[in-house]
A and B are shown apart, each in its own frame.
Chain A
Amino acid sequence: MTDNALLSGSVSSLRQQLRDRAVSSEELTRACLERIEACNGALNAVITMCSEQALDSAREADKAIAKGDIASLTGIPLLHKDIFCTNGVRTTCGSRMLEQFVPAYDATVVTKMRGEGAVMLGKCNMDEFAMGSSNETSFFGAVRNPWDLNCVPGGSSGGSAAALAAGMAPLVTGTDTGGSIRQPASLCGVTGLKPTYGRVSRLGIIAFASSLDQAGPMARTAEDCAIALTAMSGIDAGDSTSADIPVPDFHAGLHHDVQGLRIGLPREYFNEDLDPDVRERVMAALSALEQAGATLVDIELPHSHYAIATYYVIAPAEASANLARYDGVRFGYRCEDPVDLEDLYLRSRSEGFGEEVQRRILVGTYALSAGFYDAYFNKAQQVRRVITEDFTRAFESVDVIAGPSAPGVAFQFGAKQQDPVAMYMEDIYTLAVNLAGLPGLSTPAGLINGMPVGLQLIGKPFDEQTILNAAHRLQSDTDWHMARPQLETVAP
């Protein structure tokens, strides 16, 4: 087994090889760790490595496999976004504020995936507190896109997407508050799934916007996402918003049949603002599904254009409260020699938070202020319901809604950094899905000038299975998801 085959293998194929004893988890883990060592200098995708711990876990996994004690992810290496708290392993959320923070607890997702036998390699870089669409806001420096080192990987789960695309791990986790799994998946040419709000426990995930945050897997195939989603999901007594809905075995439920599947194409997504090249790639992917028996239907999501404004009131408002706990008192960054309490607050937060985080805290604080609450937060909540109703109505006539995952391909560093609104437009096709709490998936749909484009598939609440099936069929009929960046220049 060559390293290259190991490093580009899917979870499902690696799982089979581990079971067949064609490769050991220790070998696989070592290969991933070496790959990280080799590439990370160029990519900056991984913030913290857990090499020793990973090799120990791998050896345990090998023993378990030898005994036939095999769970769904036994021996599979994975990287967690550095937003998931990991007991005894530094968890930074991409911020100076938590540069030294070592939790004494694991996020439920971390516990569950370990319980399924996964081997944690380390923690991935991300936009600070998941606020960003380019991974340029990280205190630990920007992540580079393995397809073009001059370009961003997308964000906020940019480190996870880049690591996956670069072969550092076959499986990574991300979180998606407004597109933070789907947009980087699109920009890095991988498959990423944001589950229905409530499907995956948020306990132990550092909060950005509580009513929107949702964790999900990113992998090389939809099939792998199905395996990982089953492992991550389920009600959690520690998260009151986790859903008391049975978790199907998404992998067992996977099938190729899209005959009669009705796919809605929102007029508002495929309008004149859509980049022609993106349109062409997305339509090509949808045609492939049509060929396989699906029906394409024009639909309307009439309030789509309010999504960005709505999101950028609700998310910052929730964030302004969620981030109030970082005050320099109990944990996290504390400024040097505060002269009094106000100085402690002011300097700890000004020095500990980056510019984008501060911007959103200010926006959110403003939106909740006396006299503005009704005009902003309350209005946004109302519009959120209207946007949700748009989807509910659309789903009366279709099974899946499709669109682009992002307005374009990966852009160059700095291209949008000085223009927050241009940056916010990166999530124009993904935000509404979070507002409505729906599952969304991005699957590769080809390249534009050598850079990946993603097709987004949106499902009904708790119907991740249907979008996974459609993506699985697409990936069976096409090989866009097989495209890999040329990384020899980075790590020959």
Chain B
Amino acid sequence: MGLEVHLQLATQSKIFSGSATAFGAAPNEQADAVDLGMPGMLPVLNEEAVRYAVKFGLGIGARIGERSVFDRKNYFYPDLPKGYQVSQFFAPIVCEGVFEVPLEDGSLFPVRITRAHLEEDAGKSVHDAFSRETGIDLNRAGTPLLEIVTEPDFRSAEQAVAYLKALHSLVTYLGISDGNMAEGSMRCDINISLREKGSDALGTRTEIKNVNSFRFVERAIHSEYERQADILDSGGSITQETRLYDAEQNVTRSMRSKEVANDYRYFPEPDLLPIVIDAEYIEAVRATLPELPGAKRARFTADYGLNDYDAALLVPNHALADYFEAVVTAGGAAKPAANWILGDLTAALNRNEIDITASPISAAQLAGLIARIEDGTLSSKLAKQVFDGLWAGEGDADQIIEARGLKQVSDSGALESMVEAVIADNPDQVAQYLAADETKQKKLSGFFVGQIMKASKGQANPQMINELLLKKLNDQS
């Protein structure tokens, strides 16, 4: 498989006009004479789009084209106002590179990037607004896109999704795209073919267009794989064609056959000058690059002692990684911080559909909670209650411990009397315990611990209880 991703760049204005690019405006409110392809109008290149493309190229360590050229891609469609799309065909702005994608097992999977080029988006046809007529909304026309093309390096849906996730993470780190897949900021075309086991030759491919979520990518790949495999297994052959993924039915459907596809008649766009990028420009852009996911993963494992798995989960979301570092900076130990963030906090955020940036629990509050666990004030059980308090906005950890009276009892005198009381109250169980073998004893001791925890409202230090209990029970014999 090879992937083509259309990434919408988060520039303020369009790639060749001054119109705004914000999502959700009323139809055609964000389309000016240039976007409408009015006679005599000319494109003027938005430098911001060039800078974003160069940022991307540097982010994946690709070669930047010294002289890239825009071309016209000619075809007729009602939502393509000029009758051609301005794209880069012969000389793209980002040339070959290798992008290291982290897989779940912590290993890195190198994906060869063929190229990435700048182009303008088309508008969209609105079929449901009028009866018997189609509306055209040109707000999206002229929105800058970066089309990122890979070599056919993917052998599984998991690799493909890992690549897309890593790409998503990279572009949000670079700040060149909001990466909002639901709004179409990142759309994926999948080129997929099967080959015989042991053979190097790829079979005839199909292209699945415009898949817009990680989950759909995974499902579309599986579904198309099954379809092609069925055809090949029954002795048939694959037709090279474009297909669409129908998420509801979980099948791909033929869109159009390449045999009757357009001849795009690319030729250099005479209204625009070539983009010439010198080393000085590249270095100036490089100086603005933030720490990228790969470097951050390495730093998290080296500096904080996280394992690859935790680092791989924390880093892709820039805000989550920042939150983690804020917790550590506020004094929270790194490993528990990662566990809390990836565990309870993420679960609570997801449950309530809240983004990490709007977390009701601040990094400092979480650090405070972790500190109370580390110093033995809280058992893990009590800590969960404090966490709930933090989530509910009852103040910071110490305030909640105080207010709810959740301090763990670690005073050995107090604990000892609790243990003695339970032993005295349950003579039958004590007798059973003493008669049992070692394995059974372990099980039975749980009963006593449970009674003590109940009596202490969960505040007894479970470790100390265990020790005391064993000692006292054994003293009975």
Contacts and interface: CB of A to CB of B under 8 A. Distances in A.
Given A240-B45, A240-B273, A317-B267, A345 B40 contact: no
A37 to B, nearest CB: 29
B84 interface: yes
B81 A325 contact: yes
B33 interface: yes
Interface in A309-324: 317-318, 320-321, 323-324
Contacts of B270: 209-211, 241, 318
Given A324-B82, A330-B81, A368-B265, A238 B44 contact: yes
Interface residues of A, number: 43
A98 B40 contact: no
Contacts of A91: 39
Contacts of B74: 320-321, 324, 368
A370 B266 CA distance: 9
Interface string B22-38: 00000000000100111
Given A241-B270, A329-B78, A324 B83 contact: yes
B453 to A, nearest CB: 74
Contact of B84 (A204, A240, A324, A329): A324
B103 interface: no
B458 interface: no
Interface in B38-72: 38-45, 72
Nearest to A364: B265
Nearest to A381: B268
Contacts, number: 98
A157 B221 CA distance: 59
A7 interface: no
Contacts of A325: 37, 39, 81-83
A85 B263 contact: no
Contacts of B281: none
Given A324-B74, A330-B37, 7 more contacts: A101-B39, A203-B40, A238-B42, A240-B44, A329-B136, A330-B136, A368-B74
Interface of B: 33, 36-45, 72, 74, 76, 78, 81-84, 136, 263, 265-267, 270-273
B76 A345 contact: yes
B267 A321 contact: yes
Interface of A: 84-85, 91, 93, 98, 101, 103-105, 107, 202-207, 209-211, 237-241, 317-318, 320-321, 323-325, 327, 329-331, 341, 345, 365, 368-370, 373, 377
Contacts of A370: 263, 265
B83 A240 contact: no
B97 to A, nearest CB: 28
B297 to A, nearest CB: 42
Given A317-B267, A345-B76, A369-B265, A203 B42 contact: yes
Nearest to B82: A325
Contact of B265 (A84, A107, A209, A365): A365
A368 B271 contact: no
Interface centre among B38, B39, B82, B266 (most CB of A within 10 A): B39
8 contacts: A203-B40, A206-B40, A240-B273, A241-B273, A321-B74, A324-B84, A345-B76, A365-B265
B76 A327 contact: yes
Contacts of B72: 321
